[in-house]
């Protein structure tokens, strides 16, 4: 048959057989997995409450991909699972002054000549001590993702963002410095109502591996806390904070509600962070 013969400049070729080819691999399209970045949210003292999950929902809705919330307790690792949430919250709140400075400046205590604690301060109803005599660094050195309750790995593409609120802002700042000092880039560090000392504020705003630090003080909402305050100031406003704690999510606790107003505020915050560049 004519169709079985092909003539070319090299000669005439005749088809002598037909072989049916068969695929050696599946022809079903494979999904392409594009790695997203990671945005970590750390909430207030105790890192409990429905607002954590709703904050993640708000981030996801606006387009801040792969958002998760973590947990870092001032108690012995795992102990926060076995105590009342209020105890965990008060423990974290009273521990702020042992974590809110840069790791290059150790926590300090003050004793009299007999070795008895000379100065005591009462924060959120619990006794805390802070001093002027340096001692060996007392804070845990590990603020890795695993240490703050995140099972995911540092992203190799996309953004790596850490967002902290109140006690969570203290841990967020320490975690950002932990990663930055390991040459890991933190694209955005967001500190909301952060009771951090000036040296930690200077550290996070000045480290080249923390690309952008966004500090959101809630003083316009009546919050007496601001980034850069001293421990003496923090202790001094404790009664005011205690009063706000029992209120209707005002002042320092502006973003801690999970009711309709709280959800609206979470979405307003998410939009603000999206506009700041978080993805």
Residue ranges covered by each domain of the chain: 38-101+139-275
**How open is the CA angle 97-168-195, to the nearest 5 degrees?**
40
Phi–psi pair at 14, nearest 5 degrees? -115, 130
* Range name among 17-21, 90-94, 197-201 with the lowest pLDDT average: 90-94
Residue recorded with tokens 């945005």: 39
Going from the C-alpha of 162 to that of each of 135, 180, 196, 198, the distances in angstroms are 29, 12, 16, 19
Q: How far apart are CA 197 and CA 189, in angstroms?
A: 16
* Range name among 67-81, 119-133, 231-245 with the lowest pLDDT average: 119-133
- pTM assigned to the model: 0.74
**Average of per-residue pLDDT across 112-134:** 39
Is a pLDDT exceeding 70 seen at residue 2?
Answer: no
Q: How far apart are CA 136 and CA 125, in angstroms?
A: 26
Q: How far apart are CA 106 and CA 108, in angstroms?
A: 6
**Average of per-residue pLDDT across 139-165:** 92
Q: Which helix (H) or strand (E) holds 19?
A: none
Q: Which helix (H) or strand (E) holds 224?
A: none
**Average of per-residue pLDDT across 90-101:** 74
Q: Which CATH class is domain 38-101+139-275?
A: alpha beta
**Average of per-residue pLDDT across 247-255:** 88
């Amino acid at each position: 048959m004519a169709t079985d013969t092909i003539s070319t400049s090299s000669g005439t070729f005749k088809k002598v057989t037909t072989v049916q080819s068969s695929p050696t691999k599946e022809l079903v399209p494979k999904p392409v997995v594009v790695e997203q970045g990671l945005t970590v949210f750390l909430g207030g003292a105790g890192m409990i409450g429905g607002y954590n999950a709703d904050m993640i929902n708000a981030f996801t809705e606006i387009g801040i991909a792969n958002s998760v919330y973590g947990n870092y307790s001032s108690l012995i690792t795992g102990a926060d699972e076995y105590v009342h949430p209020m105890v965990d919250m008060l423990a974290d709140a009273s521990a702020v002054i042992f974590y809110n400075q840069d790791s290059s400046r150790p926590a300090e205590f003050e004793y009299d000549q007999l070795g008895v604690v000379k100065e005591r301060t009462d924060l959120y109803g619990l006794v805390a001590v802070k001093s002027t005599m340096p001692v060996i660094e007392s804070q845990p050195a590990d603020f890795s993702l695993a240490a703050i309750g995140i099972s995911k790995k540092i992203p190799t593409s996309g953004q790596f963002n850490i967002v902290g609120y109140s006690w969570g802002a203290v841990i967020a700042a320490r975690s950002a410095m932990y990663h930055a000092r390991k040459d890991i880039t933190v694209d955005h560090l967001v500190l909301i109502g952060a009771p951090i000392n000036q040296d930690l504020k200077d550290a996070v705003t000045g480290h080249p591996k923390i690309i952008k630090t966004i500090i959101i003080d809630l003083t316009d909402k009546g919050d007496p806390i601001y980034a850069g305050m001293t421990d003496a100031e923090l202790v001094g406003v404790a009664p005011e904070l205690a009063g706000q704690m029992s209120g209707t999510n005002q002042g320092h606790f502006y973003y801690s509600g999970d009711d309709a107003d709280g959800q609206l505020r979470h979405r307003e915050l998410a939009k603000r962070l999206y506009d700041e560049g978080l993805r």
